[in-house]
Structure 1
């Protein structure tokens, strides 16, 4: 059985789910975009701020499935510029301290709108 999760969005606000709960796994993603406008939310001014917004949105989606950030097992992290990597990693690691930390990759590429950070995650119960 699978359950689609709205995460930080209201039903019908965006044409997709923030996550999917499937058995012992939860698949979720998060960005700091105001999705209807494809613009970063005002509280995402710096890379650290944007990372914190992404993590908070991810936390909300995981919470819908009864999970927390501590349940993350894999996170694909996407940045639009490699110069953001150090600030992103520091903020990400601080938010998940003291660990254990999920498996993580960080890749540079284009993202929707003016997003600079995107998280694609898997959590396990």
Structure 2
């Protein structure tokens, strides 16, 4: 059985998708982008600041599902420019400093709304 996860503490879904879907043992988040919970884009700030907002959104969605960042087992990171990897990674490491999850990071052809980073996660309940 699946449960749709929604919270007002993160950027709302802007299409035909849910912020996250939970099963009995796992939570699958949608890709989070650097938008504030009230829908303001932060695509014009540094990648470090974008990554921070993305991870704050991710944490809010996970919290709504009864999880925290420490429960994340896998993330996928999409960058508009792989040259931003080091800056993103420095901020990411502040959130996942001990026993970080498995991770993939790729350059995407383009990201929604002109943002520089998008991150999705899988967490274990």
Q: TM-score range by the shorter chain?
A: 0.7 to 0.9
The root-mean-square deviation of aligned C-alpha atoms, in Å, is: 2.3
Q: Residue deviations 1:19-50, cap 9 Å, x none?
A: 01111000003111369x8x7337x6110100
Q: How many angstroms apart in 2 are the aligned matches of 1:46 and 1:26?
A: 29
Q: Give, in angstroms, the shift of residue 9 of structure 1.
A: 4.6
**Structure 1: where are the runs of 5+ without partners?**
none
Q: Which 4+ stretches in 1 moved above 3 angstroms?
A: none
Residue 113 of structure 2 corresponds to 113
Aligned length: 120
Q: How many angstroms apart in 1 are the aligned matches of 2:57 and 2:2?
A: 20
Residue 19 of structure 2 corresponds to 18
Is 1:103–2:105 an aligned residue pair?
no
**Structure 2: where are the runs of 5+ without partners?**
none
Asked if the contact 2:26/2:124 (under 8 Å) is kept, the reply is yes
TM-score, normalising length from structure 2?
0.85
Matched position secondary structure for 1:40:
coil
Whichever structure has more strand as a proportion of its residues is 1
Matches within 5 A, 1:55-70: 55-70=55-70
TM-score, normalising length from structure 1?
0.85
Q: Residue deviations 1:90-124, cap 9 Å, x none?
A: 11011212x11000011001111111100011000
Matched position secondary structure for 1:14:
coil
